[in-house]
């Protein structure tokens, strides 16, 4: 009888403790839920560099072939001032520069003429005489993504033996609803040309609340001045030691060396100052209408103009290979010389007489 009472007392105590614990836990859960409901996060938006990396990674995952991509951190904010310089971040892509600015790209050892460049899926014409595309005609402020297709795919236009690069401009329905305006102003100083390089860009985008209609426009202007100082040597001539005009200093040479040794003499050397001016204007506008989940209409236009001027001041001195047999008068004036295989004075008497 005593044992039964003890068991009943212990059992009743355990049941009471479980009920109290369950009630306390339920009360705590309800309080936490109420507190979470007051400040609940409805949506997590990732932006900046993390969003750029996530977008590039997702582009690679959704493709069947070998693809790499570079995405803008935000609207109007591409990681570099030049698209070619951004593409060199991609494995297997090298760039060629012109006066310090990226211009052409080579992919996996194939030259610029083996790449096919698209703007929003359409083939972009080249401003050169060949097939290579000059990336300095486009401003990176207007670009949202650049995709490099390293393998051929059925939906791509032919011609990209090295790669196909699809440059995508800003799309209004790709962003958030409402109006968005981005203005970038920057300036740099070139110590050689002693001139400023202003860079101005503006982007406006609008999308309605339903995200089925949007319009965007962008404008970019750059005025760059640069100067380069160069020391040049065109080529080298291989001569015999014994054919040198004048007195031969044979110190350190044997008699056999005079007839067998060769020497290299520069064909010419010179100094050059090159001033370059680049004025680039790029404008882009896009209108999108998405009436249903199966229809999307996009109309866009791109205008690009690049004015480039070069001014070169140079001075050079040409050496006298012995095979020219240059003749001088008493004042050191050249009166004639021989071309290999022909006599210059005989063939050009008027030019030779004029000095």
Span of 16-30, 180-194, 232-246 with lowest mean pLDDT: 16-30
pLDDT-derived band at 35, boundaries 50, 70, 90:
low
Q: Residue 58 has what DSSP assignment?
A: H
Angle, CA 168 vertex, CA 164 and CA 171 arms, to 5°: 160
pLDDT above 70 for 215: yes
More confident residue, 321 or 336: 336
Residues forming beta bridges with residue 178, ordered by sequence position: 207
Task: Locate the DSSP E strands across the chain.
Answer: 67-71, 93-98, 101-107, 115-119, 122-123, 143-149, 163-169, 178-190, 195-207, 213-233, 236-240, 262-266, 268-292, 295-318, 327-328, 334-336, 338-339, 342-343
Go through the domains of the chain in sequence order and give each one's CATH number: 43-169 (2.170.130.10), 173-320 (no CATH), 325-355 (no CATH)
pLDDT tens-digit profile of 159-193? 888 899 999 888 899 888 899 898 888 888 888 88
Report the pLDDT value the prediction gives residue 246, as an integer from 0 to 100.
47
Stronger pLDDT, 9 or 112, i.e. the higher one = 112
- Average pLDDT over the chain, rounded to whole? 76
Residues 38-79: pLDDT tens digits?
Answer: 555 555 444 455 666 676 677 777 777 788 888 776 544 565
78 CB-side CA count, 13 A:
26
CA-nearest of 100, 66, 56, 103 to 84 is 103
Residue 261: pLDDT band by 50, 70, 90 thresholds? confident
Q: Mark out the alpha helices in the chain (DSSP H runs).
A: 2-38, 48-61, 83-87, 255-260, 344-347, 349-353
Give first-to-last CA distance, the chain, whole Å: 142
Task: Summarize pLDDT for 75-118 with one digit per residue, the tens.
Answer: 445 657 678 888 888 888 999 888 778 889 999 888 898 999 99
């Amino acid at each position: 009888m005593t044992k039964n009472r003890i068991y009943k007392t212990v059992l009743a105590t355990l049941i009471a403790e479980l009920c109290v614990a369950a009630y306390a836990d339920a009360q705590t859960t309800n309080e936490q839920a109420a507190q979470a409901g007051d400040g609940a996060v409805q949506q997590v938006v990732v932006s900046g560099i993390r969003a750029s990396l996530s977008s590039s990674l997702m582009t690679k995952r959704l493709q069947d072939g070998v693809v790499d991509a570079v995405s803008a951190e935000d609207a109007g904010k591409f990681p570099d001032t030049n698209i070619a310089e951004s593409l060199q971040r991609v494995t297997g892509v090298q760039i060629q520069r012109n006066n310090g600015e990226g211009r052409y790209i080579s992919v996996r050892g194939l030259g610029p003429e083996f790449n096919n460049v698209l703007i929003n899926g359409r083939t972009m014409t080249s401003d050169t005489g060949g097939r290579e595309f000059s990336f300095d005609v486009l401003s990176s402020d207007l670009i949202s993504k650049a995709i490099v297709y390293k393998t051929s795919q059925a939906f791509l236009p032919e011609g990209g033996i090295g790669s196909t690069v699809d440059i995508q401009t800003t799309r209004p329905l790709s962003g958030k609803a409402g109006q968005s305006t981005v203005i970038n102003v920057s300036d740099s100083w070139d110590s050689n040309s002693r001139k400023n390089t202003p860079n101005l860009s503006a982007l406006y985008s609008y999308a309605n609340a339903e995200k089925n209609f949007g319009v965007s426009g962008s404008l970019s202007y750059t005025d760059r001045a640069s100067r380069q100082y160069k020391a040049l040597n065109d080529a080298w001539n291989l001569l015999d030691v014994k054919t040198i005009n004048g007195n031969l200093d044979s110190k350190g040479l044997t008699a056999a060396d005079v007839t067998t040794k060769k020497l290299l003499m520069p064909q010419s050397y010179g100094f050059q100052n090159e001033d370059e001016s680049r004025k680039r204007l790029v404008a882009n506008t896009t209108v999108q209408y998405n009436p249903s989940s199966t229809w999307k209409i996009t109309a866009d236009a791109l205008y690009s103009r690049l004015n480039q001027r070069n001014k070169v001041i140079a001075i050079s001195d040409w050496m006298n290979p012995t095979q020219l047999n240059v003749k001088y008068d008493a004042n050191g004036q050249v009166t004639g010389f021989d071309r290999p295989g022909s006599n210059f004075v005989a063939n050009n008497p008027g030019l030779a007489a004029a000095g």
